[in-house]
A and B are shown apart, each in its own frame.
Chain A
Amino acid sequence: MTRGRVGPHALAALLAAVFALCALCIFPRSARAQAGQTEAKAWLDAPTAAVDEPFALHFQVMTTGSDTPSDPQPGPLPGLTVVGTSISPSTSISIVNGVVSQRRGVSVVWTLRGSRPGSFTLGPPSVALGGRRVRGDVQSIRLVSHPGAAGTARRPPGFGGVDPFDTWKGLFGDDPLKDLVQEQETEPNLALDAARSPGAFLHATVDKPRAVVGEQVTYTVYLYVDPSDRQGEVEDKREASAPDFLRRPIVEGGRGRSLGRARVGGRIWSVHLWRQTAYFPLKAGALEIGPFAADMVKGSRHEPKESERLVVQVSEAPAAGRPARYVSGDVGRFVLSAEVAPRETSRGGTVSVTVELRGEGNLPATLPMPEGAGIEWLEPQVREKVELVQNTRIGGRRTFTYVARLGREGEVELGSVELPFFNPDSRAYEIARAALGRVHVAPGAPVADAGSEEQDKLAGLPPPVTAREPIAAAPRHLSDAAPFWSALGLGPLAYLVARAGDRARTSLRARRDRARASPERDLQEKLKRADAARRAKDGAALAGAIEATLASACNLHLKVDIRGLAGGAVTDALLEAGLPADAGRELRAVLDACHEARFAPGGLAEGDGEDLFARATALTKIIGKSARSA
């Protein structure tokens, strides 16, 4: 390395940088931008860095006002290259002597790289705030050709911040500036009811639980560290999986930045921004963002840590007011500008049309180019620059360079590019427009139509329809009426019912007939006839009826037909069938009395008839009982 003579410009810059550093170290508050209640601080993470190795320029602006800092710029960076930018919002509430004050602001980290050794002056960095720009201090750094000569990291002048490139020592308790942070100063929006695990844990959030397809959802993973739990490192293991989202990183891996302290379950924990990613949902539905995983390494022990699994409810942008040619997912705030060159050509010639799309959100990948007879748009070349455009919002610009072939001569109106999009802030559709104007096309050679080959093959397509044909109300169908299906079975059912009724009637009649011809009924009938004869005082009829009744009773209960028997044979047969002997004798006597009465000239005396009927009735019961006991 050759040392050159230090010029007056470099000397002045060096002196300014030294002054700024001294001012930061000795009079930290003198660097405040005294514009209202706004504080701006800038610092480098090291006074020396190696060539071709990245180092960081930090810039933090905090304000008590309502305006939010925006449009951060690093300022002049001669000889240095910006290789990355990280922008994060910041909020803090301080309670000092009972006075509560809230500050909000932004922290910006520019990752820089130099390609040659030497001393460099950077900045001043600035942000836009309330219509003016708030600036930090000019910084200086020395780049050396070999890494070993590079200095150690430097702490920020105030805010209690932690160097994002040397996170771990700051995380686990040996931060020399830790005590500068007041114990009372916590971030209320980072407070949690309880710790997810002891020592340290990951906590993930999204800035909105509902979004439309294409709307940015900012996903943040915080690392909470218990200050009393010392020693350890964090190793990233797995990024959150989100297959239904387009992913754009905001804060990349390995960049833990202190956000201050927060109350977790009544205790103070330090909180670090670990990941921040813009996710653009690709479809509607309940879309999941998987857990972010890391290992907490303490000595040889690895403690796996996972953040929460989150679900974002995503819907299509509202159908009401949706313009024609709106493409699902075109969500954000966009503007279009266009440039056409040249404005004159000949038939069959081409012009270049460059359309630049700028804004925030997921920049559409294609543009709906205007159509016109004799204008053919060739495939565009696309260049893009996607970046953070405001705090955590992703945006940038995408430039489409088209070649338009003009096939008709004269003044050709190219029309205008119109891109409908959904603005998530106003919840309304807007249209970005860029008029392309006219091009004068001079006469030239006839142009062959590129689509002529296809046209020939599809020449038989019908002409367009110019009148609507709304669909009439749904026709009524017989099968939609429930009674139809019932009626279908009604006839056969009626037949079955009729047949069943007929069968039931026949069965009933047969049963009645059978009941009418039974021996019991016959016995009862004969007994009734005997009783009737007794009442009519018809001795002969009574005697005959009693004989018949007793014969039926014997036949029914004892299964002995006494009509064919005579004299003692009757008694013997009944005794054999189980009738008691005295009953048998009584039966014999009654039958004899009846026999005599039937053939006696005077019949039965009145008293004899009553007596005979009573004896016969009693005998009938005895026969029945003897049969049951047998």
Chain B
Amino acid sequence: MAAVLGASSSPAADAPPSVDEEFGLGAAALAAEKPEEAIGRFEALADRGVVDAAASFDRGLAYASRFRKSPRPGDLGRAIQGFEEARSLTADPARERAASAAIVLLRSEVARRRAAAGDAPYVQPGPPAVRLVLRSLPEDAWTVLAALSSLALTAGLFVRWRASGRVRLGGAGVAASAGGLLAITALAAWAARDERLTLTEGVTVAENVRATDEGHAPIASEAPIAEGTRLEILATRDGWTEVQLPSRRAWITSAAIVPLVRPAR
């Protein structure tokens, strides 16, 4: 038996669902194991400019679910991108841990697939050492330390000027130490502020992304970038995105990387 079913075209809903309704529909689709629909819902939320850790989390989960059900190219990378975004957006430590665990799981899968395909082992490049030092303290801690250093420097200088003998020597020592500390902490506070305001990162959503030079010729010395790699985005121009690799700057096609939405700055 065959049946021809109705052909139709109708206007989209008069009023699009609210953000809460769209989120609810997406979560329901995810629970009903309809990842395709869930992806559509959560991507629509992202298109509407909604910044929500839960939406990012569920979007990552939806891509992971589709990968489990009927994988499509880029699903793993987009899943990692969703969880990375959720991890940086959330204020809930439990959700941050869950996102981190999911990222580890998905990156393990990327590594397994690369190993099976004979590709180079997957390595997520860490941030530069300077940035690691910067991130060892919150930005406000650097600013408070800088303020305290400034106070200590001032006191030391006045003591060195006014006092005599050992006290004067002590003042000189305090001034010298506090001066050095002030330079370091003020620089760190400024760099942390700059990172908060300007740093843009993204996650690669394609397998084996080729790094190219400014003329978009492949860089032979750079191994292809694995799917799900988090990279700093330096610039975007004419369909190409400049990224910071561990050893150098390189250009990749913009379609191969999805930027991470940052928390309110």
Contact = CB atoms under 8 A, between A and B. Distances in A.
Nearest to A334: B9
Nearest to B43: A324
Given A460-B101, A492-B157, A494-B154, A429 B51 contact: no
Given A460-B105, A488-B147, A428 B12 contact: yes
A491 B44 contact: no
B61 interface: yes
B150 interface: yes
Contacts of A536: none
B198 interface: no
B91 A469 contact: yes
Nearest to A359: B9
Contact of B3 (A437, A473, A480): A437
A488 B58 CA distance: 44
A184 interface: no
A358 B91 CA distance: 48
B193 A335 contact: no
Most B CB contacts (10 A, CB to CB) among A338, A470, A473, A499 go to A470
A489 B150 contact: yes
B27 A368 contact: no
A31 to B, nearest CB: 39
Contacts of B133: none
Interface in A479-501: 479-480, 484, 487-492, 494-495, 498-499
Nearest to B3: A340
B13 interface: yes
A168 interface: no
Interface stretch (B119-127, B136-144, B200-208, B215-223): B136-144
Contact of B37 (A340, A371, A489): A371
Contacts of B228: none
A435 interface: yes
Interface string B20-51: 10110111011111111100110110011101
Contact of B8 (A322, A371, A434, A470): A434
B53 A469 contact: yes
A465 B154 contact: no
A462 B98 contact: yes
B70 A451 contact: yes
A339 B68 contact: no
A477 interface: yes
Contacts of A457: 108-109, 112
A450 B95 CA distance: 30
A560 to B, nearest CB: 49
A336 interface: yes
Contacts of A491: 150-151, 153-155, 157
Contacts of A467: 54
A433 interface: yes
Grouping DSSP codes into helix (H, G, I), strand (E, B) and loop, the B interface class, with mixed when no group exceeds half, is helix
B8 A433 contact: yes
Which range holds the interface residue count of chain A? 35 or more
A479 to B, nearest CB: 4
Contacts of B53: 469, 471
Nearest to A372: B34
B54 A430 contact: no
B58 A465 contact: yes
Contacts of B165: none
A372 B70 CA distance: 13
B42 to A, nearest CB: 9
B96 to A, nearest CB: 11
Contact of B36 (A283, A336, A368, A432): A368
Interface stretch (A83-91, A251-259, A300-308, A341-349): A341-349
Nearest to A378: B70
A326 interface: yes
A420 B102 CA distance: 32
Interface in A412-442: 420, 428-437
A467 B53 CA distance: 10
B176 interface: no
A340 B7 contact: no
A1 to B, nearest CB: 47
B51 A371 contact: no
Nearest to B38: A464
Most A CB contacts (10 A, CB to CB) among B8, B19, B158 go to B8
B6 A469 contact: no
Contacts of B264: 471-475
Contacts of A471: 51-53, 89, 263-264
A60 B56 CA distance: 58
A587 B25 CA distance: 120
A162 B2 CA distance: 51
B44 A464 contact: no
A159 B153 CA distance: 95
A492 B33 contact: no
Given A371-B36, A471-B51, A495 B161 contact: yes
A461 B2 CA distance: 41
A488 B161 contact: no
B247 interface: no
A37 interface: no
Contacts of B16: 320-323
A177 B182 CA distance: 92
B182 A488 contact: yes
Nearest to B20: A468
Contact of B143 (A373, A461, A478, A492): A478
A461 B44 contact: no
A316 to B, nearest CB: 9
Interface string B176-202: 000100100010011011001000000
B143 A484 contact: yes
Nearest to A502: B161
Interface in A95-126: none
A322 B44 contact: yes
Nearest to B71: A454
Contacts of A377: 70
Nearest to B7: A337
Nearest to B157: A495
A467 B89 CA distance: 15
Interface in A167-208: none
A85 B70 CA distance: 41
A553 to B, nearest CB: 46
A448 interface: no
B44 A324 contact: yes
Nearest to B112: A457
A172 B101 CA distance: 76
Contacts of A460: 101-102, 105
Nearest to A377: B70
Contact of B101 (A325, A340, A462): A462
Interface in B76-115: 89-92, 95, 98-99, 101-102, 105-106, 108-109, 112
A333 interface: yes
A434 B9 CA distance: 9
Interface string A59-73: 000000000000000
A254 to B, nearest CB: 34
Nearest to B194: A479
The 7 closest A-B pairs by CB, nearest first: A491-B154, A325-B40, A337-B7, A341-B2, A474-B264, A371-B34, A429-B12
Interface of B: 1-13, 16, 19-20, 22-23, 25-27, 29-37, 40-41, 43-44, 47-49, 51-55, 57-58, 61, 64-65, 67-71, 89-92, 95, 98-99, 101-102, 105-106, 108-109, 112, 139-140, 142-144, 146-147, 150-151, 153-155, 157-158, 161, 179, 182, 186, 189-190, 192-193, 196, 239, 263-265
22 contacts: A320-B16, A322-B48, A336-B8, A358-B7, A373-B33, A429-B12, A433-B8, A461-B64, A461-B105, A464-B27, A464-B31, A464-B57, A466-B27, A468-B23, A471-B53, A471-B263, A479-B140, A487-B150, A488-B150, A491-B150, A492-B153, A494-B154
Given A479-B189, A488-B146, 12 more contacts: A323-B12, A324-B43, A326-B40, A336-B9, A340-B3, A359-B9, A377-B70, A432-B9, A464-B31, A470-B51, A479-B143, A495-B158
